[in-house]
């Protein structure tokens, strides 16, 4: 089972990815709100890493940005369990600029 700090790291990374993608496409949070049918404050909380979005929200954000969902998940992975690390864990790797 994922630890809370894993979820916090994922939320921060996802938020950075969303911010990067949104800015690269020239969209404001208001534009994204209209395109993804989400509240602007919800988008802001995700971008600040305070909320970890559900799968349906990830799909809406990707569609609103016109990118594949994988672009929003860049740098996040599940490390499989091993003999020395029973129970897998999430990892966050280097950031794309």
CATH of residue 23's domain is 1.10.260.40
| Residue among 45, 49, 38 at smallest CA distance from 7 | 49
Which residues form the domain of 9?
4-92
pLDDT tens-digit map of 29-70: 999 999 999 999 999 999 999 999 999 999 999 999 999 999
Tokens 């209209």 — which residue?
34
Q: Enter the tokens of residue 68.
A: 């594949």
Predicted confidence (pLDDT) per residue in 14-33, tens digit? 999 999 999 999 999 999 99
State the total domains in the chain. 1
């Amino acid at each position: 089972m994922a630890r809370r700090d894993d979820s916090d790291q994922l939320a921060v990374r996802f938020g950075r990815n969303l911010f990067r993608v949104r800015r690269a496409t020239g969209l404001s949070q208001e534009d994204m709100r209209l395109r993804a049918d989400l509240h602007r404050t919800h988008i802001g909380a995700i971008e600040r890493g305070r909320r970890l979005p559900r799968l349906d929200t990830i799909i809406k954000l990707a569609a609103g940005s016109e990118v594949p969902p994988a672009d929003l998940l860049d740098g996040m992975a599940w490390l499989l369990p091993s003999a020395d690390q029973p129970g897998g864990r999430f990892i966050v790797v280097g950031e794309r600029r």
